[in-house]
Structures are given as C-alpha cells and as structure tokens.
Amino acid sequence: MTRQLLLIGAGHAHAFVLEAFAQRPDKTVSITVVSDSPFAAYSGSVPAWLSGECTLRETQMDIAALCQRAGARFIASPAVEFSTSERQVTLADGSVIAFDVASFNVGSTLTLPQVIDPQGDAGIGASALPTLLAMRPLSSLHHRWQALREEVAQLPAGARQSVVSVGGGAAGCETLMSVLAQLHQQRPDIHWQGELISAADTLLPGAGWLPRWLTARALTRAGVRVHTGVRGRALVPGGVQTDTGEHIEADILLWATGAVGQTWLQQTALPLDEQGFIPVDASLEVTGQPGIFAAGDCAALRSSPLPKAGVYAVRMGPVLAENLRAACHGKPLTPWQPPRRVLALIGTGDGRAIASRGAMGFSGRWVWQWKKRIDARFIARFNPPFND
Ligand SMILES: Cc1cc2nc3c(=O)[nH]c(=O)nc-3n(C[C@H](O)[C@H](O)[C@H](O)COP(=O)(O)OP(=O)(O)OC[C@H]3O[C@@H](n4cnc5c(N)ncnc54)[C@H](O)[C@@H]3O)c2cc1C
C-alpha cells in the first residue's frame, strides 16, 4: 500500500529528506512538498547576498528540481490550515491534501513593532516613519530588501541617513554590517550612520566573551554605535521608541528581534509552546501526535531548547529523513542528538568574518573565504549543475 508523505515548507531539513529519497527511492512512499516558492533561501549565504557579494539566486536551493530528483510532487502554494484529526492540509490556492505522515519545516517569523504615529491623521505621519526592514520570515526578505533599495535610489545626494538595527543577536549584528556595506556601495554620496540596540546587556547573548568582543570591535570598525540593555518597542515618526520612552533617531530600521512561530499554526490543533513553536520529542515527532513531525526553526525540542539557527535545521535533516521513512513503514524512530556546540560564522560586511564556537573566537579575511567555501558547497550539494 502506498503511504502519503507530506512535507510542509521547503526548509533546510526537508532538502535533506528529498536528497535521501532521491538517493534511496521508495516506491511505496508518495511524497508531496508544499511551499510558497520553488526556491528556498539558504540562511548561511544571506549576509553575502545582503552585502552585495552574490546574487539572490546563488543563495537559493532549487527545491522544485530537487523534488524531481526525489520523484516528489511539488506544489507552489503555502499551507494555511492543518487538521490533525482529518489528517489533511489546506493550501492558499484552496486545494486539500491528505497525508499519512506529515512534516513541518516552515521556519519562523518575528513580532513586528507597534507603530505610534500621533501625526498620522494630520497626513504627515506615514512619510515620517522610518522604513522598516523585518529580517524574518527569511523566505520573503528579498522582496522587502528590494523595496528598500528602490527607496534608497530616490534619496537626494548628500542626505544623512541613520540605519538602526533592533536586535543584538548574530542576525542583528551581521545584517546591520552587511546592509551598511551594500548601502555604502549603492549610494556612496550619502552619509550613512549605523546604530544597534540590544535588549540584552551584551551582544550575542550565549556566545563566549571573545566572539562578543570581536563582534563589538567589528561594529566599531563599521562606525556603528551600540546601545545594550535597551529594548526597541515602537516605530515612531523619525525613529524608534525604547521601552523606557527614549527616542532613537532612525531613517531605516532593521527589525531582527527573536524568532516566533508562524501565526497560522495558532489556528490548528497542534500543540504550541509560548513562542508559537511546535514541541517535538527527541525523534522530531510532534509531542502526542504520531506520524506528524517538525524540524528546524518551527520545532521546539522539548529536552533541550535550541537557538533558532539554520545549522540546527541542517543537522536535523538526515535523522528526520530516516524517521519519516520509518514512520511510513511503521518502524521504530531514532532519536536526534543535538550537537553540544556549533560553529557560527558571522560576516562583518568588510570582507572579513568572525568564527564563534563556545568560548573560542577568531576573525579575519580567511574566515570569510572559508565561510563562503562552506556555503558554496552546501548550495552545490542541493543544486547539481544539470539543474541550472
Ligand atoms: C537575517 C538573518 C540571517 C541569518 N543568518 C544565519 C546564518 O548565517 N547561519 C545560520 O545558521 N542561521 C542564520 N539565520 C537563522 C536561519 O535563517 C534560520 O534559523 C533558518 O533559516 C531556519 O531554517 P528552517 O529550515 O527551519 O526554515 P527556513 O529556512 O525559514 O525555511 C522555511 C521554508 O518554509 C516555507 N514556508 C514558510 N511558510 C510556509 C507555509 N505556510 N506553507 C508552506 N511552506 C512555507 C518557506 O518558503 C521556506 O522555504 C539567520 C536569520 C536571519 C533572519
């Protein structure tokens, strides 16, 4: 009997699942992948793309081509409803797909800031608000970044522009430096000033002091002023308001606060944690939901909460592939062992990068070249040349 395996989202872990089924086909498993786009962003290459070192296409996995290799059906329409009792998903295009085994790898989003615009009714407000660039969801970041670059193209020569990043994690620091590098390149005739606001008392909470120090040094080199212990709260005319009521001037606001789960998941009967993530057991099966799995950002491993980074989605991939195959055949599942420490490579927008692993940290131009080689290898693995 053929089993219906449904992969919801074309994230990093599902790329490994498709690769596994391409390498070891199973005629008794019929695979369907639903995602909003036939291309999926590879998170590691985001800073290189933001800083203008590579094209968008060079950062993407061709999921539709990968599906072809795996003998899977690809549907370019996002999931909007999910029924655990009827075991079916509804897509934005209205189609309904039934499944025996399903897996979520839909990434995460963030909570947008409140907008306070007292002058809005007077007709002045909207144009005085800073331009907001929300860094998540990653899959649609290129549309928002393109719109911002088009606005920047219209600025008068000699203007002064303050770019403020809210979020002192790796994504907030790295994207601010990458974005500033690209904006300098696009409009060298404009005076760009960078600032970073971090709610935590330190940059890169959870990292060792050496990577933190290297990151602070890179931000200083990029001319960025850092405010720690300050939480950005609302978008207001001319800038951002902090939770203590302070006003920080901003023309462009990068919003890179902590990840939260996709909002549509709240309308489903799936269990969710406080941040809206799907709790999973060690096997990556959703707690209390046999035959339903989740991996990557959208999953919350019950035994040990993990930071939201692409590297974990990548590491989960091979075990998820084995467990989905096992679940289709009613075989026992294998536990996934989270790595004790992972290597983070943080681009600094100036042809250098910082390596951070536990307390260890180092930086340099060779680190950036090393990171680019790792990322290129990853992309090539899922985009064989015959697909281009
Ligand atoms: C600016 C920025 C830079 C980052 N840089 C790094 C980095 O250098 N290294 C690192 O390890 N991490 C980095 N991260 C974190 C990283 O992006 C995420 O942890 C990673 O992308 C999560 O991978 P994932 O496979 O869970 O989901 P994603 O990569 O987000 O993939 C989710 C997929 O699901 C699809 N999808 C979404 N909603 C639906 C739906 N309703 N129905 C169907 N499909 C859907 C999307 O189109 C996408 O294909 C960065 C994050 C940001 C915001």
Any idea which architecture 111-257 has in CATH? Answer: 3-Layer(bba) Sandwich (3.50)
Which residues, at least 6 apart from 86, have a Cβ–Cβ distance to it below 8 Å?
Answer: 98
Q: Write the residue with the smallest CA distance to atom 45 of ligand 1.
A: 9
How big is the CA angle at 358 (ends 353 and 364), to the nearest 5 degrees? 20
DSSP for 331-350, written as a single string: PPPPPP---S---EEEE-SS
- Tens of pLDDT along 36-93? 999 999 989 988 999 888 999 999 999 999 999 999 999 999 999 999 999 999 999 9
Number of Cα atoms under 13 Å in the Cβ half of residue 121: 1
- Tens of pLDDT along 330-384? 999 999 999 988 999 999 999 999 999 988 999 999 999 999 999 999 999 998 7
> Tell me, what amino acid is at 96?
V
Specify whether domain 3-36+77-108+261-339 bears CATH 3.40.30.10: no
- The reported pLDDT for the residue numbered 206 is 83
Closest by Cα among 298, 312, 360 to 44: 312
Q: Measured between alpha carbons, how far is 5 from 213 in angstroms, rounded to an integer?
A: 46
Q: Write the residue with the smallest CA distance to atom 25 of ligand 1.
A: 11
Q: Which atom of ligand 1 is nearest to the CA of 140?
A: 47
Q: Where exactly does CATH 3.50.50.60 map onto the chain?
A: 3-36+77-108+261-339, 111-257
The predicted model scores a pTM of: 0.93
Element (H, E) at 32: strand 29-35
Q: Which atom of ligand 1 is nearest to the CA of 296?
A: 26
- Tens of pLDDT along 108-159? 999 999 999 776 644 444 458 999 999 988 888 999 999 999 999 999 999 9
Element (H, E) at 301: strand 299-301
Closest by Cα among 127, 122, 103, 118 to 31: 103
Q: Write the residue with the smallest CA distance to atom 30 of ligand 1.
A: 107
| Any ligand 1 atom below 6 A from CB of 356 | no
The model's confidence at residue 386, banded by pLDDT at 50, 70 and 90, is very low
- Tens of pLDDT along 235-271? 999 999 999 999 999 999 999 998 999 999 999 999 9
Question: Distance from the CA of 247 to the center of ligand 1, in angstroms?
Answer: 31
- The reported pLDDT for the residue numbered 122 is 45
Query: Residue 280 in contact with residue 287, Cβ under 8 Å?
Result: yes
Q: What mean pLDDT is reported for the chain?
A: 93
Q: Cis (ω within 30 of 0) for the bond into 137?
A: yes
- Tens of pLDDT along 304-332? 889 898 999 999 999 999 999 999 999 99
List the beta bridge partners of residue 114: 234
Report residue 234: phi and psi, to 5°.
-145, 155
Q: Write the residue with the smallest CA distance to atom 5 of ligand 1.
A: 43
| Any ligand 1 atom below 6 A from CB of 308 | yes
Question: Distance from the CA of 234 to the center of ligand 1, in angstroms?
Answer: 25
Question: Distance from the CA of 136 to the center of ligand 1, in angstroms?
Answer: 8
| Any ligand 1 atom below 6 A from CB of 44 | yes
Question: Distance from the CA of 281 to the center of ligand 1, in angstroms?
Answer: 21
